[in-house]
Amino acid sequence: MPRYAIISDIHANLDAFEAVADDLGRCDVDLVVCLGDVVGYGPDPGACVDLAMDVCDTIVVGNHDLAAISDDAMRGFNDRARAAIHYTRRQLAAHHLRAIESWPERASLEALDATHGSFGPNGFEYVTAAASAARAFDGFDAPFGAIGHTHVPIAFVAHPAPVALALDGDHFLDDERTPASCVRTHRLLAPVPHAVAEGWRALINPGSVGQPRDRNPDAAWALLDTDARTVRVRRVAYDVERVADKIRLAGLPERLAQRLSLGA
């Protein structure tokens, strides 16, 4: 099963999700992996849970999904995110809640491990740069890892057996942790494929389906071919203004409508 579609951070944006689902159909994909945050922020949480259960082979849970089913998980959320979660809870039916409860925090597929935020000790750390990526690399074993959460398409690569030496008094000690200096960062710009060199591990963030934050409003997802060792981000246009209107109609905060067209 070498060709994975990796999708993440749908955020109850059904129009973007439907556009991506259509695009998946145009590509030759073996498995669809969803990295969570199916709900939160957007106007159509229930329909997005239904479509995710229909389209995805594997779904891991995101922090907004957890907040929809548990008050504890809402700690640290800002006012807009909280307002959206209260709206989300009013929209979800019992079968949606049961679906979310069934999603694990991480999943291991053949050559790919998947989680929402980070494989490191803090599962919802934002992996944005080499240091946080190094912590994530130490928390999974597969050649490829997939994470979402930042809404920015990016790939980190690291050599699997870095020789890192730490000085302890007069002695050098082997340190098996991945040093940040062994991590390289590559922005994933569609449609340019990124090749992962033989012997290197890669941590891939496909960006966000429903709320991109890389100044490009088009929905993002990634196609990872673990045999060819390539990853390619695809961008899919959808009617952003229509979704912004739905957000206003739902009574959600105005900023959540505005940010979609900014891709921020």
Residues forming the site for Zn ion (CB under 5 A) = 9, 37
| Unique residue bearing structure tokens 């809640």 | 97
Q: How far apart are CA 2 and CA 110, in angstroms?
A: 8
Measured from the CB atom, is 147 or 157 closer to Zn ion?
147
Shortest spacing between CB 62 and Zn ion, in angstroms: 6
CB neighbourhood size of 122 (10 A): 12
How would you class 195 by CB atoms within 10 Å of its CB: exposed for 0-12, middle for 13-18, buried for 19 or more?
Answer: middle
Measured from the CB atom, is 35 or 244 closer to Zn ion?
35
Shortest spacing between CB 182 and Zn ion, in angstroms: 28
Is residue 118 within 8 A of residue 32, CB to CB? The reply is: no
Shortest spacing between CB 36 and Zn ion, in angstroms: 8
Shortest spacing between CB 235 and Zn ion, in angstroms: 18
Shortest spacing between CB 7 and Zn ion, in angstroms: 12
R_g (Cα) of the chain, nearest Å? 18
Both tokens of residue 78?
């800002």
Is residue 233 within 8 A of residue 37, CB to CB? The reply is: no
Give CB contacts under 8 A, 24+ apart, made by 233-237. 233/153, 233/188, 233/189, 233/190, 233/191, 233/206, 233/207, 234/23, 234/27, 234/190, 234/191, 235/190, 235/191, 236/16, 236/19, 236/20, 236/22, 236/23, 237/19
| Residue of this chain nearest to Zn ion (CB atom) | 37
Measured from the CB atom, is 15 or 37 closer to Zn ion?
37
Shortest spacing between CB 69 and Zn ion, in angstroms: 16
Measured from the CB atom, is 184 or 213 closer to Zn ion?
213
Shortest spacing between CB 37 and Zn ion, in angstroms: 4
Judged by phi (left if over 0) then psi (alpha if -120 to 50, else beta), residue 122 lies in beta
Measured from the CB atom, is 9 or 218 closer to Zn ion?
9
Measured from the CB atom, is 9 or 18 closer to Zn ion?
9
Measured from the CB atom, is 124 or 200 closer to Zn ion?
124
CB neighbourhood size of 169 (10 A): 6
